[in-house]
Amino acid sequence: MEDFILRALAASLGVSVIAGSLGCFVIWKRLSYFSDSISHSALLGVALGLVTGLGINFGLVIVGALFATLIVVLQQKGFWSNDAILGIFSHVALSVGIVVLGFVGDRNIDYFAYLFGDILSINSQDIFWIFSVMVAVVVILVMNWKSLLLLTLNEELARAEGINKVTYELLFMFLIALAVSVSVQIVGVLLITSLLIIPPAIARVYSGSPLSMIFSSVVVSVISVLLGLFSSIQFDIATGPAIVITLGIFFFIAQLIPNKS
Partner 1 sequence: MSDALITADNISLHHNGKNILDDVSLKLHPGEFITLIGPNGAGKSSLIKVLLGIIKQDSGQVNHSNNVRLGYTPQSFTANPFIPISVVDFLTLNQKADKDFTDQISELTGIKDLLNSPLKNLSGGELQKVLLARALLNKPNVLILDEPAQNLDVDGQMQLYKLIQEIHQKQKCAVLMVSHDLHRVMKESTQVLCLYHHICCEGPPGSILKDEQFSNLFADQIHELMATYEHHHNHHHEH
145 φψ region: left (φ > 0), alpha (ψ -120 to 50), beta (else): alpha
Q: What are phi and psi of 142, to 5 degrees?
A: -65, -45
Residue 91 binds to partner 1 (criterion: CB under 8 A): no
In the list 108, 209, 234, 255, the residue contacting partner 1 (rule: CB under 8 A) is 209
What is the size of the binding site for partner 1 (CB under 8 A)? 27
In the complex, least distance from residue 215 CB atom to partner 1, rounded to whole angstroms: 12
Please say which residue, 25 or 131, places its beta carbon nearer to partner 1.
25
d(CA 200, CA 237): 25
Q: Where does residue 76 rank: exposed (0-12), middle (13-18), buried (19+ CB within 10 A)?
A: exposed
Cβ neighbours, 10 Å, residue 157: 11
> Between 112 and 151, how does the x/- string for binding to partner 1 read (CB under 8 A)?
----------------------------------xx-xx-
Distance, in Å, from the CA atom of 252 to the CA atom of 258, rounded to the nearest integer, reads 13
In the complex with partner 1, which residue's Cβ is closer, 209 or 234? 209
Question: Is residue 104 a contact residue for partner 1 (CB under 8 A)?
Answer: no
- Confirm or reject binding of residue 110 to partner 1 (CB under 8 A): no
Regarding 30 and contact with partner 1 (CB under 8 A), the answer is yes
CA distance 193 to 216: 18
Site string for partner 1, 145-174 (x = CB under 8 A): -xx-xx-xxx-xxxxxxxx-----------
Does residue 105 bind partner 1 (CB under 8 A)? no
Is position 27 an interface residue for partner 1 (rule: CB under 8 A)?
A: yes
Q: Provide, rounded to whole angstroms, the least separation between the CB of residue 18 and partner 1.
A: 20
How far apart, in whole angstroms, are the C-alpha atoms of residue 50 and residue 33?
Answer: 27
Rounded CA Rg of the chain = 18
Q: How far is the CB of 26 from partner 1 (least distance, A)?
A: 10
Encoded one letter per residue, x for contact with partner 1 by CB under 8 A and - for no contact, window 169-208 reads -----------------------------------x--xx
Q: In the complex, what is the shortest distance from the CB of residue 211 to partner 1, in angstroms, rounded to a whole number?
A: 9
- Residues forming contacts to partner 1 in the complex (CB under 8 A) are 27-28, 30, 146-147, 149-150, 152-154, 156-163, 204, 207-210, 212-213, 260-261
